[in-house]
Amino acid sequence: MKQDTQITRRGFMQLSSGALVAGGILNASSKSDFARSTLTRSDTASSPGKIALEEHFDFAGTEKSSYAFGGPEFQGQIKDLGSGRIAEMDRGGIEVCIVSLVGPGIQAIPNSNQAVEVARRANDHLAESIARNPKRLKGFAALALQDPNAAAQELTRGTKELGFCGALVNGFTQIGDAGATMFYDMPQYRDFWATVQQLDVPFYLHPRSALAAQQPAYQGHAWLTGSIWGFTAETSIHALRLMGSGLFDDYPKLKIILGHLGEGLPCSIWRIDNRISRTLQDRPKAKHTIGHYLRENFYITTSGNFRTQTLTEVMLEVGPDRILYSVDYPFEDMRLAAEWFDHAAISDADRLKIGRTNAQQLFRL
């Protein structure tokens, strides 16, 4: 961390609200997180079109085991990659969506050969849909990390032949015995990560719930699983495993994306590094602090976490250049997200970065 240029959490506590306003981090007159429902269409369209990148679809190959359960309206939304999707984007002032396969997706197929085949079908389906609206839709590749070599080949095909922007993977991967799980800090994934770095495309680490056998803490409290809390717990641990494993020392140009305003990590990163430095006997293999990798190798999206106070904390911890707009559609509402973000108490310069230009630079759009 560069102490002369980064604003730390301790520094934030020392700053007055007037200094924050003067620095453009907060607007002088704050508004509530959720803008009034009476906003007009022109309000959400007043700034240049936003780019969103945690927006999901489902298809026949994974629909029976996906998180996309719901009534006919929801099913129509998540399977629609045509006019209905474009209309929803227009409601939210979104110019471009980078679309990805809903979780747990390919990661929940224990049979390696089947996972490879379904991933290819999902990617072909997405590419065909994008071809009908190439100016509005882009894609992330789905990958069968049951077979790291096949995943590297499919990512190469997805980026070079199908024009995808990178990959989105739904957490850990099941393989063989349905209870066996694979995390991507494991040694067998090093060659895969070499391919990701060589292709120079982002890798979105999206949540999934822990398997039932690995959920004793949730027993009797099933409401804690999934997006309420389990997603955050699983994804933050997975990200910490990647950071602590030395992965980014071996491949320093890797770019990993986390959703939901960082899965809680920006708010906890100081304590994580403090406790590592003071008390842990079993230390990470990484050469630098965990915070170093969070700021150098990770990008964070606003998906499904429309809270200005939390956004401000993330901005102070990693900087506005590392934050990207997203909705988490159709699990979240396009218009609700836009009403919050377009009127959140941040500077207009940061709003433009987060809403559009950071993604343009990262994905070369």
Element (H, E) at 91: helix 83-91
**Is the separation of the CB atoms in 9 and 57 below 8 Å?**
no
* Per-residue tokens: 331: 């699990």
Phi, psi at 92, each rounded to 5°: -100, 10
Provide CB contacts within 8 A for 52, sequence distance 6+. 89, 92, 94, 96, 97, 98, 325, 326, 327, 329
Query: Could you tell me which residues come within 8 angstroms of residue 108 by beta carbon, excluding any fewer than 6 positions away?
Result: 62, 65, 170, 174, 208
**66 three-class SS:** coil
- What's the angle, vertex CA 27, arms to CA 23 and CA 30, rounded to 5? 145
Is position 342 annotated as part of the catalytic site?
A: no
**Do the strands 137-139 and 94-101 form a parallel or antiparallel pair, or are they unpaired?**
parallel
**Which residue, 151, 59, 150, 145, is CA-closest to 99?**
59
Residues 6+ apart with CB under 8 A from 144: 106, 109, 112, 115, 116, 118, 119, 150, 151, 154, 173
Catalytic residue among 58, 147, 328, 350: 328
Residue 348: is it exposed, middle or buried by C-beta count within 10 angstroms (0-12/13-18/19+)? exposed
Integer Cα distance of 115 and 52 in angstroms: 27
136 vs 89: CA distance, rounded Å? 9
CA separation (Å) from 178 to 151, 166, 168, 300? Answer: 19, 27, 21, 31
DSSP class of 141: B
Compute CA distances 74 → 58, 60, 62, 329, 335, whole Å: 11, 15, 16, 10, 16
What is the CB neighbour count within 10 angstroms for residue 13?
7
d(CA 197, CA 194): 5
- Active site residues per annotation: 328
